[in-house]
Amino acid sequence: MEKVLLGMSGGVDSSVSAILLKEAGYEVIGTTLNLFSETACCSYIDVKNICTKLGISHYILEGKDEFKKYVIDNFIDCYSNCLTPNPCIECNKYLKFGLMYEKAKKLGCKYIATGHYAKTEYSEKYNRWVLKKSKAIKKDQSYVLWNIPKEMLEHILFPLAEFEDKEQIREIAKKHNLTVANKPDSEDICFIPDGNYKKFLEDNSNLKPKEGDIVNSKGEVLGKHTGLYNYTIGQRKGLGISYKEPLFVIGFNKENNHVIVGTEKELYKSEIVIKNINLLLFDNISNPIKVNVKTRYSTKEAKAEAIQLNSDEIKITFEEPQARITPGQSLVMYIDDIVVGGGKIE
């Protein structure tokens, strides 16, 4: 019987994953990452109760130092440099598929598993293990998994890969009388449960309100802003300026403390460069390839061409210009339902 270390948050997805893995014949060991103390207690109780009910062992894995270094410090650093981060992607790479994988090896586990909606399988076509979208397209989370090491793919199980919607998962939980069957999904950043990231930045960093100019792409001053970190690419409301046509945030000038605004047309870009790349499907992209790309978790895919510039950068050329391209966010490339890889938008 193969051992699998399952990351458990106390939610319905990871709880049902434990049931499915047991039914598939694995010896399941549950683990919960202790990333920050403030909100962990209730989740621990839920996980402990579920593991006791299912008859599986459970470990609490300490990860506060790593979480601060790779997730929180990165979050603050991005906003300090006019970038918009996605902390879940860093957490997946360094904690859920980094620290947890090291613990799995120590426990003699061949696999690790999570309740993510995604899929791993061996592809005869590409002669390697691949990361794919889940069948539950509306819940698919392959976008936030692009940065995991490709050599780990054959050791990762996603028990929810074949389910088409969340209600199927809840029905399994109800069938097994799990108290978390109707537990709502968490939509917030886990370390900012009230969703107020601006207050979090001000309380935990040197970022404080600092007035500066709002300018257009010609450098004309149109108004004042309250601090660069208070604004996002594509923002229209709350700028406090009037103009002959609608204006949107299109960029920042950190050196001059400027928020740059422009017309809707100026939001669109035909090509961009991504860096800090991680390729899963190929070792490199030496010739241009056609891909579908997502520039944010919630955006629709766009057709594009990708070519690797060097070991750390890929140029993306869109078939049709795309709006609200945000530095710091991840761009993820797909061929059909397979993740090619991704990188951070410059």
**CATH, residue 306:** 2.40.30.10
Q: What is the pLDDT of residues 130-171, one digit of tens each?
A: 999 999 888 999 999 999 999 999 999 999 999 988 999 999
Token pair recorded at residue 101: 């994988």
Residue 91 among the catalytic residues: yes
pLDDT category of residue 194 using cuts at 50, 70 and 90:
confident
Share of the chain above pLDDT 90, in %: 85
Number of structural domains found in the chain: 3
- Whole-number Å distance between alpha carbons of 302 and 293: 5
Burial code (b: 16+ CB inside 10 Å, e: under 16) for 13-25 equals: bbbbbbbbbbeee
Is 82 among the catalytic positions?
no
Contacts of 184 (CB under 8 A, 6+ apart): none
Does residue 155 share a domain with residue 32? yes
Element (H, E) at 237: none
- Same domain, yes or no: 229 and 281: no
Given pLDDT bands bounded at 50, 70 and 90, which one contains residue 193?
confident
**Is this model's pTM higher than 0.85 or not?**
yes
The answer to whether residues 284 and 158 belong to one domain is no
- Whole-number pLDDT of residue 183: 82
Question: What is the residue whose two structure tokens read 């579908």?
Answer: 292
CATH number at residue 229: 2.30.30.280
Note the pLDDT of residue 37. 61
Q: Is residue 183 part of a domain?
A: no
256 with 140, same domain: the answer is no
Identify whether residues 61 and 150 lie together within a single domain: yes
Mutual angle of helices 12-23 and 40-54, in 10-degree steps = 20
User: Kind and range of the H or E element at 201?
Assistant: helix 197-204
pLDDT (mean) for 114-128: 97
- Among residues 239, 262, 285, the one where a domain terminates is 262
Q: Average pLDDT in the 306-328 region?
A: 97
Cα–Cα dist 303/66, whole Å: 36
pLDDT tens-digit series, residues 199-215: 999 999 999 999 999 99
56 vs 182: which has the higher pLDDT: 56
Identify whether residues 217 and 86 lie together within a single domain.
Answer: no
**Average predicted confidence (pLDDT) for the chain:** 94
User: What integer pLDDT is reported at residue 138 of this predicted model?
Assistant: 86
Residue with tokens 């070519």: 307
Could you give the 3-state DSSP secondary structure of residue 270? strand
| 23-29 mean pLDDT | 97
Q: Which domain holds residue 213?
A: 209-262
From 51, 78, 88, 91, active-site residue: 91
Instruction: Please tell me the predicted confidence (pLDDT) of residue 36.
Output: 77
42 band by pLDDT with thresholds 50, 70 and 90:
low
Structure tokens of 203?
Answer: 């309380």
**Least confident residue range of 31-45, 89-103, 184-198:** 31-45
Query: In the predicted model, is pLDDT for residue 290 greater than 90?
Result: yes
Q: What is the CATH number of the domain that holds 32?
A: 3.40.50.620
Q: What is the pLDDT of residue 102?
A: 96
Distance of CA 5 to the CA centre of its chain: 21
For the segment 76-104, the average pLDDT, to the nearest whole number, is: 95
Q: Let me know whether 301 and 235 are in one domain.
A: no
What percentage of the chain reaches a pLDDT higher than 70?
98
Task: Please report whether residue 194 resides in a domain.
Answer: no
Tell me: do 235 and 277 sit in the same domain.
Answer: no
